[in-house]
Chains A and B, each alone.
Chain A
Amino acid sequence: MSAATATTATTAATATAAGDLRADGRIPLRAHVRHTSALVRRNLLWIRQDPESMFDAVLFPIVFTLLFVYVFGGSIGQSLGGGQEAYVQYIVPGLMAMMGMNMAQGVGTGFNQDFNTGVMDRFRSLPIGRGSVLFAKISVEMMRMLIATAILMVVGVLVGFDITDWPGLFAAVGLSAVFGSALMWVFLTLGVVMKNAQSVQAMGFLVLMPLQFGSSIFAPPQSMPGWLQNFTEYNPLSSLADAARGLMVGGPVAQDLWMTLAWSVGITAVMAPVAIHKFRTKT
């Protein structure tokens, strides 16, 4: 074996691959952006390859809006002192609040799939920042969330929702995204720990379902039994839904807004280190 040829091969390899290599191996910001956009392209190609994966984003707002407005709208609307029309004003901001959670769930499930297929090993053995994979996934899920939100608003308007406050509407979308980003750490942890994507989804459903229905998202808590009212009062999803409601249709906002932001910060502070730790030590 000629040592000379081998050395030449190594030198050539280093020269080709070392485009942006700094002496300390740190990755420049431009490279981070490039890696993230390459990975965004990957996640977008997933959608092109498998358009059904967009179904949930498209169908969720349509099905939920129609279901709640036409099935429960009449009766719940009465307790709001109106009818179905009153309930439309109530439920659309509530559903808006849920968009962020769907995004969080999407990021967690997507991560889980990458781990299970071994693709994550490949990414982690490449000279890229480990955050690139995460940022790419978040970007695509955010995009999915915005599409779902747009559809929700269209369906909402069709069934009679009045958009009175555009800046408030955008603020509500933003708030939902902020809260969703905090919950994302919970789902990322699940995504790293759980064995498959179905479990992540099932687990997310088990956790979110009681939180969602035991909140003011779908119905005003006044008619609930006392113990449940106490629960809804401290449920962050209630604060989020009420804040979104205040922003979109008017009413008190400040306290719920601060509560939501506080919860977001709290969940992130606790769960982000856990998720990052689990990710780092994943074998």
Chain B
Amino acid sequence: MSVGCRWSCRWDVGGLSAGVATVVGMTRNDKTSGSAVSVRGLVKHYGETKALDGVDLEVREGTVMGVLGPNGAGKTTLVRILSTLLTPTAGHATVAGYDVVRQPRQLRRVIGLTGQYASVDEKLPGWENLYLIGRLLDLPRKEARARADELLERFSLTEAARRPAATYSGGMRRRLDLAASMIGRPAVLYLDEPTTGLDPRTRNEVWDEVKRLVGDGVTVLLTTQYMEEAEQLASELTVVDRGKVIASGGIEQLKARVGGRTLRIRPADPLRLRPLAEALDALGITGLASTTVDTERGAVLVPVLSDEQLTAVVGAVTAHGITLSSLTTELPSLDEVFLSLTGHRASAPQDAAPAETPEEVVAA
């Protein structure tokens, strides 16, 4: 259990453990250390409902922080507070050094927001949407025009520039929404579930755009329900559930903690499925789950925690002379992440308050 202890000690529940807190204490005093977003004990109550129940979060400049959680975990509430659309019940948050409550006007100048539901004006053509935002951000007319052209070009929307956004496809609309968020060259960009409801191909398009933005040095706070999306885009991850942070850390570390990857191995000859499974079982790899056989699809599933284990698996396959038709790695789903981090499944979307505080989280 050495691995498990290492990570559960370090990244344990309820936010940050003592070791990390020391580091955080230093960054708070040192303004130049490059924290783009800093959230301390953020609370938002709606009557009895605790949408946020004491959230701590730190996003370093130029990095992508993924906030992973199920529906109703408080992700959107967090983003709305950080964009000054909501005021917190308690706690503090600063973005690029500006306090969300005391300096909302300054703060709005340095952020870009792409909401869960594409917030472009559907009646306006793409170009007009961008020009409008440019003018609202105090760009001179000429510059606003140039910026609109430039961003349409960049997001491959030039051909659709004069068409009302209502005629755009889902992916085009998200791209336009992203472009609109980038008009003011924000220092911090919020992406609130940027690909929810998109088909896989379109999702990849959006991911590519986000990666390019990150390449330009934009700090991104990304909320998502998909482990895969977090893995694609984020370098660090905060897992939230019912308004609380249940884990945070580097994405590789968290992934290792939740059981890394699952290898899906298909022998070319379905008859060799059993022998393959036995050979792999004999390796004695102890991930979070054990090796299982998916007879329906003719594949063996092996959870691995490290590259060494993956190599060992491949070695065993070769040693037994088994020809493979495919070998793929799969990421744990959000459900599995939650199961392994908290011991309970991701809570279902709920409007009611969690009546009982998730004490099992603390126990985990």
The answer to whether A and B assemble together is yes
The size of the chain A interface, using a CB distance under 8 A, is 45
Residues on A with C-beta less than 8 A from B122 are 117
Q: Say yes or no: B217 contacts A6, CB within 8 Å.
A: yes
Minimum CB–CB distance for B351 against chain A, Å: 12
Partner of A42, one of B34, B109, B132: B132
Residues on B with C-beta less than 8 A from A27 are 105
CA distance A123 to B133 in the complex (A): 8
CA distance A117 to B123 in the complex (A): 11
Q: Say yes or no: A38 contacts B96, CB within 8 Å.
A: no
Q: Say yes or no: A42 contacts B108, CB within 8 Å.
A: no
B170 at the binding interface (Cβ < 8 Å): no
B106 at the binding interface (Cβ < 8 Å): yes
Minimum CB–CB distance for A130 against chain B, Å: 11
B83 at the binding interface (Cβ < 8 Å): yes
Contacts known (A6-B219, A7-B61, A25-B105); A19 close to B138, Cβ less than 8 A: yes
The size of the chain B interface, using a CB distance under 8 A, is 50
Q: Say yes or no: B123 contacts A13, CB within 8 Å.
A: no
Contacts known (A46-B123, A118-B119); A17 close to B62, Cβ less than 8 A: no
Most interface-central of A1, A3, A13 (chain B CB within 10 A) = A13
Q: Say yes or no: B121 contacts A119, CB within 8 Å.
A: yes
Q: DSSP class of B's interface residues: helix, strand, loop or mixed?
A: loop
B136 at the binding interface (Cβ < 8 Å): yes
Contacts known (A3-B61, A3-B62, A35-B135); A12 close to B117, Cβ less than 8 A: no
CA distance A39 to B131 in the complex (A): 11
**How would residues 29 to 69 of chain B score, 1 for a CB under 8 Å from any chain A CB and 0 otherwise?**
00000101000000000100000000000001111000000
A223 at the binding interface (Cβ < 8 Å): no
Contacts known (A13-B186, A25-B105, A126-B136); A5 close to B62, Cβ less than 8 A: yes
User: Which residues from chain A sit less than 8 Å from chain B, CB to CB?
Assistant: 1-3, 5-10, 12-14, 16-21, 24-27, 31, 34-35, 38-39, 41-42, 45-46, 49-50, 117-119, 121-128, 283
- In the complex, given contacts A1-B63, A17-B137, A124-B84, what are 9 additional A-B residue pairs having Cβ atoms less than 8 angstroms apart? A8-B217, A10-B187, A19-B137, A117-B117, A118-B115, A118-B117, A119-B119, A119-B120, A283-B46
